[in-house]
Chain A
Protein backbone atom coordinates (compact mmCIF):
# COMPACT_ATOMS: atom_id res chain seq x y z
CA UNK A 1 0.00 0.00 0.00
CA UNK A 2 1.36 3.40 -0.85
CA UNK A 3 0.89 6.71 0.93
CA UNK A 4 -2.14 7.65 -1.18
CA UNK A 5 -3.90 4.40 -0.29
CA UNK A 6 -3.02 4.83 3.39
CA UNK A 7 -4.49 8.31 3.24
CA UNK A 8 -7.75 6.92 1.83
CA UNK A 9 -7.89 4.28 4.56
CA UNK A 10 -7.28 6.81 7.33
CA UNK A 11 -9.78 9.29 5.86
CA UNK A 12 -12.41 6.56 5.97
CA UNK A 13 -11.65 6.07 9.65
CA UNK A 14 -11.82 9.81 10.27
CA UNK A 15 -15.30 10.02 8.80
CA UNK A 16 -17.14 8.42 11.71
CA UNK A 17 -14.69 8.07 14.60
CA UNK A 18 -12.87 10.26 17.05
CA UNK A 19 -9.25 9.66 16.09
CA UNK A 20 -6.25 10.17 18.36
CA UNK A 21 -2.85 10.13 16.70
CA UNK A 22 0.67 11.55 17.03
CA UNK A 23 0.80 15.11 15.76
CA UNK A 24 3.75 17.46 15.39
CA UNK A 25 3.37 20.64 17.43
CA UNK A 26 6.34 22.97 17.37
CA UNK A 27 9.37 20.83 18.08
CA UNK A 28 7.59 17.89 19.70
CA UNK A 29 5.09 15.20 18.85
CA UNK A 30 1.91 14.92 20.94
CA UNK A 31 -0.97 12.45 20.92
CA UNK A 32 -4.00 14.60 20.06
CA UNK A 33 -7.43 14.29 18.50
CA UNK A 34 -6.94 14.86 14.77
CA UNK A 35 -9.22 16.00 11.99
CA UNK A 36 -7.32 15.22 8.83
CA UNK A 37 -4.63 12.92 7.48
CA UNK A 38 -2.05 15.66 7.03
CA UNK A 39 -1.91 16.29 10.76
CA UNK A 40 -0.59 12.83 11.56
CA UNK A 41 3.11 12.39 12.29
CA UNK A 42 4.36 9.19 10.60
CA UNK A 43 7.99 9.44 11.72
CA UNK A 44 7.65 7.00 14.65
CA UNK A 45 8.99 9.65 16.99
CA UNK A 46 7.81 8.90 20.50
CA UNK A 47 5.07 11.39 21.47
CA UNK A 48 5.65 13.50 24.59
CA UNK A 49 2.40 12.18 26.07
CA UNK A 50 1.10 8.65 25.74
CA UNK A 51 -2.24 7.20 24.59
CA UNK A 52 -3.19 6.47 28.21
CA UNK A 53 -6.08 8.92 28.42
CA UNK A 54 -7.80 7.29 25.43
CA UNK A 55 -8.25 4.10 27.45
CA UNK A 56 -8.40 5.51 30.97
CA UNK A 57 -9.69 9.10 30.93
CA UNK A 58 -8.26 11.44 33.59
CA UNK A 59 -11.82 11.65 34.90
CA UNK A 60 -14.93 9.60 34.19
CA UNK A 61 -18.35 9.36 35.80
CA UNK A 62 -19.10 5.88 37.14
CA UNK A 63 -22.68 6.58 38.16
CA UNK A 64 -25.13 9.29 39.06
CA UNK A 65 -27.29 8.87 42.09
CA UNK A 66 -30.49 10.46 43.31
CA UNK A 67 -32.21 8.86 46.28
CA UNK A 68 -32.25 5.09 45.76
CA UNK A 69 -31.68 5.38 42.02
CA UNK A 70 -28.34 4.90 40.31
CA UNK A 71 -27.75 5.69 36.66
CA UNK A 72 -24.73 4.24 34.94
CA UNK A 73 -23.53 5.61 31.64
CA UNK A 74 -20.86 3.76 29.70
CA UNK A 75 -18.65 5.39 27.09
CA UNK A 76 -20.13 4.92 23.64
CA UNK A 77 -18.12 7.18 21.33
CA UNK A 78 -16.44 5.31 18.50
CA UNK A 79 -12.75 6.00 18.93
CA UNK A 80 -9.53 5.08 17.16
CA UNK A 81 -6.09 5.14 18.70
CA UNK A 82 -4.08 5.54 15.53
CA UNK A 83 -0.36 5.07 14.91
CA UNK A 84 0.41 3.85 18.40
CA UNK A 85 4.09 3.13 18.79
CA UNK A 86 5.30 -0.20 20.12
CA UNK A 87 6.12 1.11 23.61
CA UNK A 88 2.64 2.55 24.06
CA UNK A 89 1.19 -0.69 22.70
CA UNK A 90 3.11 -2.50 25.42
CA UNK A 91 1.55 -0.21 28.02
CA UNK A 92 -1.86 -0.76 26.43
CA UNK A 93 -1.31 -4.53 26.52
CA UNK A 94 -0.67 -4.18 30.25
CA UNK A 95 -3.92 -2.17 30.67
CA UNK A 96 -5.84 -4.89 28.82
CA UNK A 97 -4.83 -7.30 31.58
CA UNK A 98 -5.12 -4.95 34.55
CA UNK A 99 -8.60 -3.78 33.53
CA UNK A 100 -9.74 -7.17 32.24
CA UNK A 101 -12.74 -7.25 34.58
CA UNK A 102 -13.44 -3.52 34.70
CA UNK A 103 -16.76 -2.91 33.00
CA UNK A 104 -16.09 0.80 32.28
CA UNK A 105 -12.75 0.06 30.61
CA UNK A 106 -14.16 -2.87 28.66
CA UNK A 107 -17.20 -1.01 27.36
CA UNK A 108 -14.92 1.78 26.14
CA UNK A 109 -12.60 -0.77 24.59
CA UNK A 110 -15.51 -2.31 22.66
CA UNK A 111 -15.89 1.01 20.85
CA UNK A 112 -12.20 1.58 20.32
CA UNK A 113 -9.90 0.42 17.54
CA UNK A 114 -6.24 0.16 18.32
CA UNK A 115 -4.00 0.74 15.32
CA UNK A 116 -0.28 0.35 15.94
CA UNK A 117 2.45 1.76 13.77
CA UNK A 118 6.17 1.60 13.27
CA UNK A 119 8.49 3.13 10.75
CA UNK A 120 11.17 0.78 11.99
CA UNK A 121 13.55 1.79 14.69
CA UNK A 122 14.40 5.47 14.33
CA UNK A 123 18.04 6.03 13.36
CA UNK A 124 18.64 7.73 16.65
CA UNK A 125 16.81 5.09 18.66
CA UNK A 126 19.63 5.09 21.20
CA UNK A 127 18.09 8.25 22.56
CA UNK A 128 15.20 6.11 23.79
CA UNK A 129 17.72 4.46 26.13
CA UNK A 130 15.74 1.22 25.98
CA UNK A 131 16.60 -0.23 29.32
CA UNK A 132 13.69 -2.40 30.31
CA UNK A 133 11.28 -3.38 27.56
CA UNK A 134 12.60 -4.86 24.33
CA UNK A 135 12.07 -4.43 20.63
CA UNK A 136 12.10 -8.15 19.98
CA UNK A 137 11.89 -9.72 16.58
CA UNK A 138 8.52 -11.29 17.26
CA UNK A 139 7.30 -8.28 19.21
CA UNK A 140 3.86 -8.20 17.54
CA UNK A 141 2.95 -11.68 18.79
CA UNK A 142 3.05 -10.42 22.34
CA UNK A 143 1.17 -7.17 21.82
CA UNK A 144 -2.57 -6.58 21.77
CA UNK A 145 -3.82 -4.47 18.84
CA UNK A 146 -6.54 -4.57 16.21
CA UNK A 147 -4.42 -3.43 13.28
CA UNK A 148 -0.72 -2.78 12.96
CA UNK A 149 0.87 -0.78 10.15
CA UNK A 150 4.56 -1.00 9.30
CA UNK A 151 6.26 1.54 7.09
CA UNK A 152 8.87 -0.14 4.92
CA UNK A 153 12.11 1.38 3.75
CA UNK A 154 10.70 1.86 0.22
CA UNK A 155 7.97 4.10 1.66
CA UNK A 156 5.17 1.54 1.29
CA UNK A 157 3.02 0.31 4.14
CA UNK A 158 2.22 -3.26 5.14
CA UNK A 159 -0.72 -4.26 7.31
CA UNK A 160 -1.23 -6.78 10.10
CA UNK A 161 -4.43 -7.67 11.89
CA UNK A 162 -4.39 -8.66 15.55
CA UNK A 163 -8.08 -9.32 16.15
CA UNK A 164 -11.27 -10.28 14.35
CA UNK A 165 -12.40 -6.71 14.86
CA UNK A 166 -9.28 -5.51 13.06
CA UNK A 167 -9.72 -8.00 10.23
CA UNK A 168 -13.29 -6.83 9.75
CA UNK A 169 -12.28 -3.19 9.61
CA UNK A 170 -9.56 -3.94 7.05
CA UNK A 171 -11.96 -5.96 4.88
CA UNK A 172 -14.58 -3.20 5.08
CA UNK A 173 -11.96 -0.79 3.79
CA UNK A 174 -10.91 -3.09 0.96
CA UNK A 175 -7.51 -3.82 2.45
CA UNK A 176 -7.05 -7.44 1.34
CA UNK A 177 -3.32 -7.76 1.65
CA UNK A 178 -2.56 -8.25 5.32
CA UNK A 179 -1.12 -10.85 7.66
CA UNK A 180 -3.01 -12.00 10.75
CA UNK A 181 -1.03 -12.26 13.95
CA UNK A 182 -2.44 -14.31 16.80
CA UNK A 183 -1.69 -12.92 20.28
CA UNK A 184 0.65 -15.45 21.90
CA UNK A 185 0.32 -14.25 25.49
CA UNK A 186 2.43 -11.86 27.52
CA UNK A 187 5.40 -14.15 28.04
CA UNK A 188 7.48 -15.29 25.06
CA UNK A 189 8.08 -19.03 24.63
CA UNK A 190 11.68 -18.49 25.57
CA UNK A 191 10.51 -17.30 28.99
CA UNK A 192 10.43 -14.00 30.78
CA UNK A 193 12.80 -11.35 29.49
CA UNK A 194 16.09 -11.63 31.44
CA UNK A 195 16.26 -7.85 31.70
CA UNK A 196 12.88 -7.80 33.39
CA UNK A 197 14.12 -10.38 35.90
CA UNK A 198 17.39 -8.52 36.52
CA UNK A 199 15.65 -5.17 37.05
CA UNK A 200 13.21 -6.76 39.46
CA UNK A 201 16.09 -8.18 41.45
CA UNK A 202 17.80 -4.79 41.53
CA UNK A 203 14.74 -2.99 42.93
CA UNK A 204 13.08 -5.57 45.15
CA UNK A 205 15.40 -5.51 48.15
CA UNK A 206 16.87 -2.07 47.60
CA UNK A 207 14.90 -0.03 50.15
CA UNK A 208 18.02 0.60 52.23
CA UNK A 209 20.09 1.63 49.20
CA UNK A 210 21.48 5.16 49.54
CA UNK A 211 20.07 6.01 46.13
CA UNK A 212 16.58 6.47 47.59
CA UNK A 213 17.83 8.93 50.21
CA UNK A 214 19.70 10.88 47.55
CA UNK A 215 16.67 11.01 45.24
CA UNK A 216 14.42 12.01 48.15
CA UNK A 217 16.69 15.01 48.70
CA UNK A 218 15.95 16.38 45.22
CA UNK A 219 12.52 14.91 44.31
CA UNK A 220 9.70 17.45 44.61
CA UNK A 221 7.04 14.70 44.74
CA UNK A 222 5.15 16.66 42.08
CA UNK A 223 3.81 13.49 40.44
CA UNK A 224 4.54 14.63 36.86
CA UNK A 225 6.33 11.33 36.24
CA UNK A 226 3.24 9.31 37.04
CA UNK A 227 0.91 11.54 35.04
CA UNK A 228 3.04 11.13 31.93
CA UNK A 229 3.84 7.44 32.54
CA UNK A 230 1.91 5.17 30.15
CA UNK A 231 1.81 2.34 32.72
CA UNK A 232 0.66 4.38 35.73
CA UNK A 233 -3.01 3.71 36.29
CA UNK A 234 -3.67 4.57 39.95
CA UNK A 235 -7.04 6.14 40.52
CA UNK A 236 -9.29 7.63 43.18
CA UNK A 237 -13.04 7.33 43.47
CA UNK A 238 -14.46 10.71 44.43
CA UNK A 239 -18.01 11.92 44.98
CA UNK A 240 -19.07 15.12 43.31
CA UNK A 241 -22.37 16.51 44.65
CA UNK A 242 -24.51 18.12 41.96
CA UNK A 243 -27.81 20.00 42.19
CA UNK A 244 -29.81 16.92 41.22
CA UNK A 245 -27.79 14.18 42.91
CA UNK A 246 -24.28 12.89 43.28
CA UNK A 247 -21.77 11.78 40.67
CA UNK A 248 -19.15 9.23 41.59
CA UNK A 249 -16.06 9.84 39.54
CA UNK A 250 -12.95 7.86 38.84
CA UNK A 251 -9.97 10.17 38.59
CA UNK A 252 -6.28 9.65 37.96
CA UNK A 253 -4.12 10.09 40.99
CA UNK A 254 -0.46 9.59 41.85
CA UNK A 255 1.36 7.80 44.64
CA UNK A 256 3.34 11.05 45.00
CA UNK A 257 0.26 13.00 46.07
CA UNK A 258 -0.10 13.59 49.83
CA UNK A 259 -3.51 11.95 50.25
CA UNK A 260 -2.65 8.78 48.34
CA UNK A 261 -2.03 6.65 51.43
CA UNK A 262 -3.94 8.70 53.99
CA UNK A 263 -6.04 6.72 56.45
CA UNK A 264 -8.10 7.76 59.45
CA UNK A 265 -6.29 9.90 61.96
CA UNK A 266 -4.44 11.56 59.05
CA UNK A 267 -1.82 8.80 59.11
CA UNK A 268 0.09 8.28 55.87
CA UNK A 269 2.08 5.19 55.09
CA UNK A 270 3.86 6.96 52.24
CA UNK A 271 4.62 10.13 54.16
CA UNK A 272 8.30 10.34 53.23
CA UNK A 273 9.41 11.07 49.67
CA UNK A 274 11.83 8.15 49.87
CA UNK A 275 8.91 5.76 50.42
CA UNK A 276 6.95 7.32 47.55
CA UNK A 277 9.86 6.87 45.15
CA UNK A 278 10.45 3.29 46.23
CA UNK A 279 6.70 2.56 45.96
CA UNK A 280 6.65 3.92 42.39
CA UNK A 281 9.65 1.91 41.25
CA UNK A 282 8.38 -1.17 43.10
CA UNK A 283 5.11 -0.97 41.18
CA UNK A 284 6.89 -0.90 37.86
CA UNK A 285 9.71 -3.36 38.44
CA UNK A 286 8.43 -5.76 41.10
CA UNK A 287 4.66 -5.78 41.58
CA UNK A 288 3.55 -5.79 37.94
CA UNK A 289 6.18 -8.35 36.87
CA UNK A 290 5.07 -10.55 39.81
CA UNK A 291 1.37 -10.19 38.99
CA UNK A 292 1.52 -10.54 35.21
CA UNK A 293 5.06 -11.63 34.29
CA UNK A 294 5.07 -8.46 32.20
CA UNK A 295 6.66 -5.05 31.93
CA UNK A 296 5.51 -2.46 34.43
CA UNK A 297 7.77 0.03 32.64
CA UNK A 298 8.16 0.26 28.88
CA UNK A 299 11.39 2.30 28.83
CA UNK A 300 9.81 5.34 27.20
CA UNK A 301 11.80 7.79 29.41
CA UNK A 302 8.87 10.21 29.53
CA UNK A 303 9.28 10.43 33.33
CA UNK A 304 12.84 11.66 32.83
CA UNK A 305 11.76 14.07 30.12
CA UNK A 306 9.24 15.82 32.37
CA UNK A 307 11.06 15.58 35.70
CA UNK A 308 11.85 19.10 36.98
CA UNK A 309 14.95 17.81 38.77
CA UNK A 310 16.13 15.36 36.11
CA UNK A 311 15.61 12.02 37.87
CA UNK A 312 16.75 9.45 35.36
CA UNK A 313 15.05 6.09 35.69
CA UNK A 314 17.50 4.26 33.41
CA UNK A 315 20.53 5.54 35.31
CA UNK A 316 18.88 4.69 38.64
CA UNK A 317 18.17 1.13 37.54
CA UNK A 318 21.78 0.74 36.46
CA UNK A 319 22.99 2.04 39.80
CA UNK A 320 20.71 -0.24 41.80
CA UNK A 321 21.88 -3.24 39.77
CA UNK A 322 25.51 -2.28 40.34
CA UNK A 323 25.02 -1.75 44.08
CA UNK A 324 23.22 -5.03 44.35
CA UNK A 325 26.20 -6.88 42.89
CA UNK A 326 28.49 -5.43 45.55
Chain B
Protein backbone atom coordinates (compact mmCIF):
# COMPACT_ATOMS: atom_id res chain seq x y z
CA UNK B 1 0.00 0.00 0.00
CA UNK B 2 1.39 3.38 -1.03
CA UNK B 3 2.11 5.87 1.72
CA UNK B 4 0.35 8.96 0.46
CA UNK B 5 2.06 11.16 3.03
CA UNK B 6 5.62 10.22 2.05
CA UNK B 7 7.72 12.54 -0.09
CA UNK B 8 9.80 11.92 -3.12
CA UNK B 9 13.02 13.85 -3.29
CA UNK B 10 13.33 16.25 -6.20
CA UNK B 11 16.35 18.23 -7.31
CA UNK B 12 15.94 21.89 -8.16
CA UNK B 13 17.70 22.19 -11.53
CA UNK B 14 16.88 25.80 -12.37
CA UNK B 15 15.09 28.76 -10.84
CA UNK B 16 13.54 31.48 -12.98
CA UNK B 17 12.51 34.72 -11.32
CA UNK B 18 9.15 35.61 -12.86
CA UNK B 19 8.60 38.78 -10.85
CA UNK B 20 9.75 40.14 -7.47
CA UNK B 21 7.49 37.74 -5.57
CA UNK B 22 7.24 34.74 -7.88
CA UNK B 23 9.73 32.05 -8.92
CA UNK B 24 9.43 29.13 -11.29
CA UNK B 25 11.26 26.08 -9.97
CA UNK B 26 12.42 23.53 -12.53
CA UNK B 27 12.44 20.22 -10.69
CA UNK B 28 13.84 16.85 -11.57
CA UNK B 29 11.95 14.17 -9.68
CA UNK B 30 13.43 10.86 -8.60
CA UNK B 31 11.06 9.07 -10.98
CA UNK B 32 11.09 11.81 -13.61
CA UNK B 33 11.41 9.49 -16.61
CA UNK B 34 8.16 7.75 -15.71
CA UNK B 35 6.38 10.88 -14.49
CA UNK B 36 3.24 11.92 -16.36
CA UNK B 37 0.61 14.53 -15.69
CA UNK B 38 -2.28 16.37 -17.27
CA UNK B 39 -2.35 20.17 -17.54
CA UNK B 40 -4.22 21.48 -14.51
CA UNK B 41 -2.93 18.79 -12.15
CA UNK B 42 -0.88 19.79 -9.13
CA UNK B 43 1.70 18.38 -6.77
CA UNK B 44 2.10 18.88 -3.05
CA UNK B 45 5.42 20.50 -2.29
CA UNK B 46 6.65 20.86 1.26
CA UNK B 47 9.51 21.75 3.50
CA UNK B 48 9.58 19.81 6.77
CA UNK B 49 8.82 22.29 9.51
CA UNK B 50 6.85 24.52 7.17
CA UNK B 51 4.16 22.10 6.00
CA UNK B 52 3.13 21.56 2.42
CA UNK B 53 0.84 23.11 -0.15
CA UNK B 54 -0.65 22.28 -3.52
CA UNK B 55 1.04 23.94 -6.52
CA UNK B 56 -0.11 23.55 -10.11
CA UNK B 57 2.41 22.27 -12.63
CA UNK B 58 3.21 25.08 -15.08
CA UNK B 59 5.35 23.20 -17.60
CA UNK B 60 4.21 21.33 -20.69
CA UNK B 61 3.14 17.71 -20.25
CA UNK B 62 5.45 16.87 -23.19
CA UNK B 63 8.41 17.78 -20.96
CA UNK B 64 7.26 15.60 -18.05
CA UNK B 65 9.92 12.98 -18.76
CA UNK B 66 12.65 15.59 -18.29
CA UNK B 67 11.43 18.05 -15.65
CA UNK B 68 8.40 19.81 -14.21
CA UNK B 69 7.96 23.46 -13.37
CA UNK B 70 6.24 24.84 -10.31
CA UNK B 71 5.54 28.55 -10.33
CA UNK B 72 5.23 29.82 -6.79
CA UNK B 73 4.24 33.22 -5.45
CA UNK B 74 5.51 33.93 -1.96
CA UNK B 75 2.39 34.83 -0.03
CA UNK B 76 2.64 32.68 3.10
CA UNK B 77 5.29 31.24 5.37
CA UNK B 78 5.86 28.12 3.28
CA UNK B 79 5.69 29.75 -0.15
CA UNK B 80 8.11 32.48 0.94
CA UNK B 81 10.46 29.76 2.15
CA UNK B 82 10.09 27.97 -1.20
CA UNK B 83 11.28 31.13 -2.94
CA UNK B 84 14.65 30.69 -1.22
CA UNK B 85 15.28 27.37 -3.02
CA UNK B 86 18.07 27.59 -5.58
CA UNK B 87 19.53 25.30 -8.22
CA UNK B 88 21.05 22.22 -6.62
CA UNK B 89 18.73 22.24 -3.61
CA UNK B 90 16.45 19.37 -2.68
CA UNK B 91 12.67 19.81 -2.78
CA UNK B 92 10.11 17.43 -1.28
CA UNK B 93 7.09 16.65 -3.44
CA UNK B 94 4.35 14.08 -3.94
CA UNK B 95 1.75 13.81 -6.63
CA UNK B 96 0.46 14.54 -9.20
CA UNK B 97 -3.05 15.02 -7.87
CA UNK B 98 -6.35 16.26 -9.24
CA UNK B 99 -8.30 15.74 -12.43
CA UNK B 100 -6.58 18.13 -14.84
CA UNK B 101 -8.31 19.98 -17.65
CA UNK B 102 -10.48 18.00 -20.04
CA UNK B 103 -9.06 17.33 -23.52
CA UNK B 104 -9.57 20.34 -25.78
CA UNK B 105 -11.91 19.47 -28.63
CA UNK B 106 -13.12 22.93 -29.61
CA UNK B 107 -11.61 26.37 -29.89
CA UNK B 108 -9.98 27.38 -26.63
CA UNK B 109 -10.44 30.52 -24.56
CA UNK B 110 -8.15 30.95 -21.57
CA UNK B 111 -9.19 33.56 -19.02
CA UNK B 112 -6.56 34.22 -16.38
CA UNK B 113 -6.46 36.59 -13.46
CA UNK B 114 -3.02 37.16 -11.91
CA UNK B 115 -1.52 33.87 -10.71
CA UNK B 116 -4.38 32.11 -12.47
CA UNK B 117 -2.21 31.92 -15.56
CA UNK B 118 -0.02 29.29 -13.84
CA UNK B 119 -2.07 26.14 -14.58
CA UNK B 120 -3.34 27.63 -17.85
CA UNK B 121 0.16 28.03 -19.24
CA UNK B 122 0.47 24.24 -19.19
CA UNK B 123 -2.77 23.98 -21.20
CA UNK B 124 -1.48 26.62 -23.60
CA UNK B 125 1.83 24.83 -24.10
CA UNK B 126 -0.03 21.60 -24.72
CA UNK B 127 -2.25 23.09 -27.44
CA UNK B 128 -0.31 26.00 -28.94
CA UNK B 129 0.85 24.21 -32.07
CA UNK B 130 -2.50 22.72 -32.99
CA UNK B 131 -3.85 23.72 -36.39
CA UNK B 132 -7.39 22.45 -35.83
CA UNK B 133 -8.36 24.95 -33.11
CA UNK B 134 -8.06 28.66 -32.45
CA UNK B 135 -6.79 29.96 -29.12
CA UNK B 136 -7.75 33.21 -27.42
CA UNK B 137 -6.20 34.40 -24.19
CA UNK B 138 -7.72 37.06 -21.94
CA UNK B 139 -5.43 37.98 -19.13
CA UNK B 140 -5.81 40.40 -16.28
CA UNK B 141 -3.09 41.44 -13.90
CA UNK B 142 -2.66 44.13 -11.27
CA UNK B 143 0.38 45.74 -12.89
CA UNK B 144 3.24 45.00 -15.24
CA UNK B 145 5.60 44.06 -12.42
CA UNK B 146 3.44 41.09 -11.52
CA UNK B 147 3.28 39.55 -14.99
CA UNK B 148 4.38 35.92 -15.33
CA UNK B 149 5.99 33.95 -18.15
CA UNK B 150 6.97 37.06 -20.13
CA UNK B 151 8.79 35.14 -22.86
CA UNK B 152 5.89 32.77 -23.37
CA UNK B 153 3.52 35.74 -23.40
CA UNK B 154 5.55 37.47 -26.08
CA UNK B 155 5.50 34.34 -28.21
CA UNK B 156 1.79 33.86 -27.57
CA UNK B 157 1.05 37.44 -28.53
CA UNK B 158 2.71 36.86 -31.92
CA UNK B 159 0.92 33.63 -32.61
CA UNK B 160 -2.47 33.86 -30.90
CA UNK B 161 -5.07 36.36 -29.87
CA UNK B 162 -3.65 37.43 -26.48
CA UNK B 163 -5.36 40.33 -24.75
CA UNK B 164 -3.86 41.80 -21.64
CA UNK B 165 -5.51 44.20 -19.26
CA UNK B 166 -3.81 45.81 -16.27
CA UNK B 167 -5.57 47.24 -13.27
CA UNK B 168 -3.11 49.94 -12.24
CA UNK B 169 -0.70 51.04 -14.98
CA UNK B 170 -0.12 50.46 -18.64
CA UNK B 171 2.65 48.13 -19.78
CA UNK B 172 5.82 49.28 -21.43
CA UNK B 173 6.59 45.92 -23.01
CA UNK B 174 3.14 44.58 -23.86
CA UNK B 175 0.16 45.93 -25.71
CA UNK B 176 -2.28 46.24 -22.84
CA UNK B 177 -5.45 48.03 -21.85
CA UNK B 178 -6.30 49.45 -18.47
CA UNK B 179 -9.13 47.99 -16.46
CA UNK B 180 -10.50 44.70 -15.18
CA UNK B 181 -10.74 41.28 -16.75
CA UNK B 182 -14.49 41.75 -17.28
CA UNK B 183 -13.70 44.81 -19.42
CA UNK B 184 -11.85 42.49 -21.79
CA UNK B 185 -14.95 40.34 -22.02
CA UNK B 186 -16.99 43.41 -22.94
CA UNK B 187 -14.54 44.71 -25.52
CA UNK B 188 -13.44 41.52 -27.27
CA UNK B 189 -15.44 39.23 -29.47
CA UNK B 190 -15.06 35.77 -28.03
CA UNK B 191 -14.18 32.83 -30.24
CA UNK B 192 -17.28 30.90 -31.22
CA UNK B 193 -17.61 27.18 -30.54
CA UNK B 194 -15.11 27.31 -27.71
CA UNK B 195 -14.34 25.77 -24.36
CA UNK B 196 -13.46 28.39 -21.74
CA UNK B 197 -10.96 27.66 -18.99
CA UNK B 198 -11.03 30.28 -16.24
CA UNK B 199 -8.48 30.53 -13.45
CA UNK B 200 -7.99 33.41 -11.07
CA UNK B 201 -8.81 34.67 -7.60
CA UNK B 202 -12.22 33.54 -6.25
CA UNK B 203 -13.53 37.13 -6.36
CA UNK B 204 -13.12 37.13 -10.14
CA UNK B 205 -15.42 34.18 -10.81
CA UNK B 206 -18.91 35.60 -10.25
CA UNK B 207 -18.31 38.57 -12.58
CA UNK B 208 -16.58 36.53 -15.28
CA UNK B 209 -19.08 33.68 -15.24
CA UNK B 210 -22.06 36.07 -15.32
CA UNK B 211 -20.55 37.80 -18.36
CA UNK B 212 -19.83 34.48 -20.12
CA UNK B 213 -23.40 33.31 -19.54
CA UNK B 214 -24.66 36.63 -20.90
CA UNK B 215 -22.54 36.00 -23.97
CA UNK B 216 -24.37 32.68 -24.35
CA UNK B 217 -21.47 30.42 -23.44
CA UNK B 218 -23.00 27.15 -22.22
CA UNK B 219 -22.30 26.26 -18.53
CA UNK B 220 -20.90 22.93 -19.72
CA UNK B 221 -18.26 24.81 -21.75
CA UNK B 222 -17.03 26.85 -18.78
CA UNK B 223 -14.42 25.33 -16.48
CA UNK B 224 -13.32 26.98 -13.25
CA UNK B 225 -10.28 26.08 -11.17
CA UNK B 226 -11.10 26.18 -7.48
CA UNK B 227 -8.72 27.00 -4.68
CA UNK B 228 -9.40 25.51 -1.27
CA UNK B 229 -7.40 24.63 1.78
CA UNK B 230 -6.06 21.12 1.37
CA UNK B 231 -4.32 18.70 3.66
CA UNK B 232 -4.41 15.11 2.40
CA UNK B 233 -4.69 15.51 -1.39
CA UNK B 234 -6.72 12.32 -1.78
CA UNK B 235 -10.26 13.29 -0.75
CA UNK B 236 -10.32 12.25 2.91
CA UNK B 237 -9.49 15.19 5.19
CA UNK B 238 -12.63 17.16 4.11
CA UNK B 239 -11.03 20.61 3.99
CA UNK B 240 -11.51 21.02 0.26
CA UNK B 241 -15.00 19.56 -0.08
CA UNK B 242 -17.20 21.32 -2.58
CA UNK B 243 -20.73 19.92 -2.70
CA UNK B 244 -20.35 16.15 -2.92
CA UNK B 245 -16.91 16.40 -4.47
CA UNK B 246 -13.37 17.24 -3.44
CA UNK B 247 -11.14 19.88 -5.03
CA UNK B 248 -8.05 17.68 -4.55
CA UNK B 249 -9.47 14.51 -6.06
CA UNK B 250 -12.39 15.43 -8.32
CA UNK B 251 -11.05 18.93 -9.10
CA UNK B 252 -9.42 21.38 -8.96
CA UNK B 253 -11.14 21.90 -12.31
CA UNK B 254 -14.92 21.82 -12.30
CA UNK B 255 -17.37 22.53 -15.07
CA UNK B 256 -19.81 25.28 -14.26
CA UNK B 257 -22.49 22.77 -15.21
CA UNK B 258 -21.69 21.03 -11.90
CA UNK B 259 -20.88 24.07 -9.79
CA UNK B 260 -24.13 25.86 -10.59
CA UNK B 261 -26.02 23.07 -8.81
CA UNK B 262 -24.46 24.26 -5.52
CA UNK B 263 -25.90 27.21 -3.64
CA UNK B 264 -22.55 28.98 -3.23
CA UNK B 265 -21.81 29.01 -6.97
CA UNK B 266 -25.14 30.24 -8.30
CA UNK B 267 -23.99 33.48 -9.86
Contact = CB atoms under 8 A, between A and B. Distances in A.
A207 interface: yes
A236 B238 CA distance: 10
Given A103-B2, A260-B239, A283-B241, A237 B48 contact: no
A300 B35 CA distance: 46
A120 B129 CA distance: 70
A246 B48 contact: yes
Given A235-B237, A236-B237, A291-B244, A265 B229 contact: no
A208 B263 contact: yes
B48 A101 contact: no
The binding surface of chain A is classed by DSSP as mixed
A70 B228 CA distance: 28
Interface string A227-247: 000000111111101000110
A279 B75 CA distance: 27
Contacts of A234: 237-239
B236 A286 contact: no
A290 interface: yes
Contacts of A263: 227-229
A200 B50 CA distance: 39
A50 B231 CA distance: 25
Contacts of A70: 6-7
Contacts of B90: 68
A269 B244 CA distance: 16
A264 B78 CA distance: 11
A239 B236 CA distance: 19
Nearest to A205: B263
Given A70-B6, A237-B5, A267-B202, 15 more contacts: A63-B5, A68-B9, A68-B90, A205-B263, A233-B236, A234-B239, A235-B232, A248-B5, A263-B227, A263-B228, A264-B76, A286-B243, A286-B244, A287-B243, A287-B244
8 contacts: A63-B6, A233-B236, A239-B49, A248-B5, A261-B239, A269-B228, A279-B241, A287-B244
Interface of B: 1-7, 9, 48-52, 75-76, 79, 90, 202, 227-229, 231-232, 234, 236-239, 241, 243-244, 263-264
